[in-house]
Chain A
Amino acid sequence: MPQFLTDPWPWYVAGPMIGLFVPLLLLVGGKEFGISVNLRHLCAALLPGRAEFFKYDWKGSGAWNLTFVAGVTLGGFLAGTLLEHAAPIAISASTRADLGALGLTDFSGWAPAGLFSWTGLTGAPGLLLIVGGGLLVGFGSRYAGGCTSGHAITGLACLELPSLVAVVGFFAGGLLATHFLLPALLPGVRP
């Protein structure tokens, strides 16, 4: 595989390509780019219960998107095999220093291995980050009616004011988590 494909892709290549998914999905089938709605489709398919919110034709409206997400999973696999880049991510020195102060010292992999692993899941910090973080992502994205793809990319591109408000919320929440929750959760993490 050529090195320019296996090396990390710079933002000015990857960003514009991500933006193209909005017109591509519209042109292929009139579909709106948004990932988190698949979590709703999964609820409707697996455990609709009595909630009105999950009583709709998820196959008719969501099968294309569930297929897209299956593709994203497969793409993640291919990127890690065919296009694998073994070297660690070039994280900025200041971020390393900040996270080092919280007890994180191993910067290899996509995420702190001591937290984001099956053994990490058995400790309180890992459990809170993975299960708590997942719950908040699922609840918040549907409450807001979209996630990074639906609001930050599609919504902002359509000049939607509601999406701008949602993105302000995304950032407010992320800053709170980074600067207040993580310091409270992570001091227990020692190598």
Chain B
Amino acid sequence: MSDAIAEVEARSATQGEPARRGFPAYLLLGVAFGILLVKSEVVSWWRIQEMFRFQSFHMYGIIGSAVAVAALSVAVLRRFHPRTLRGEPILIPPKSMGKGVRYLAGGTIFGLGWGLLGACPGPMFALLGNGMTVMAVAIVSAVAGTWLYGVLRPRLPH
């Protein structure tokens, strides 16, 4: 992830991209994503419980069809090398496996939180906007958890 960020930073720096460029587009895309998360009921703690109890196809259908469409899109992008709206080449930095500990351990810790809170990061913000104000506490906790990781990072196996 830090590699990916470094790469994005390098790209921005070389092209002198102003930080606010294209922001209405990102805001609008975010709005659309927030509406989708709510209207598809992905934000629901009950739906997450159904998923982890294998009692409904709903969440599997959503994640599965999202991955299928995204994978097809990425394959098309990789095949035809289109440029971004600003004419820049599209780069998808590969992830490095390393020992793989971070993916399994970090993933499991994330999953424990997902099962308890019933919301992953996107739904946390969508629920806050939807009126579940107590989600602000979960967001602050998640920022604190991220901060804790940043501090402990040098001592954790990756």
What is the interface of chain A, defined by CB distance below 8 A to chain B? Answer: 5, 8-9, 11-32, 35-40, 42-43, 46-47, 49, 51-54, 56-57, 59-65, 67-80, 83, 85, 89, 91-92, 94-95, 98-99, 107, 110-112, 116-118, 120-121, 128-163, 165-179, 181-182, 185
Contacts and interface: CB of A to CB of B under 8 A. Distances in A.
Contact of B25 (A29, A120, A131): A29
Contacts of B133: 118
The 6 closest A-B CB pairs, nearest first, are: A71-B30, A75-B34, A173-B111, A169-B107, A177-B115, A138-B145
Name the prevailing secondary structure of the B interface residues: helix
Given A134-B113, A174-B111, A26 B39 contact: no
A118 B135 CA distance: 9
Contacts of B76: 23
B149 A139 contact: yes
B26 A169 contact: no
Contacts of B66: 15-16, 18-19, 153
B63 A32 contact: no
A69 B141 CA distance: 17
Given A20-B73, A148-B120, A178 B49 contact: yes
A168 B103 CA distance: 9
A29 B4 CA distance: 15
Contacts of B20: 63
A51 B153 contact: yes
Contacts of B109: 136, 139-140, 143-144, 169, 173
Interface string B71-89: 1011011000010111011
A65 B129 CA distance: 17
B111 A70 contact: no
A30 B48 CA distance: 31
Given A19-B65, A135-B113, A130 B107 contact: no
Best-buried of B64, B107, B127 by chain A (most CB within 10 Å): B107
Contact of B19 (A59, A129, A179): A59
A71 B28 contact: yes
Given A20-B69, A147-B120, A165-B107, A8 B138 contact: no
A35 B30 CA distance: 10
B129 A74 contact: yes
A38 B139 CA distance: 11
A44 to B, nearest CB: 9
A28 B63 contact: no
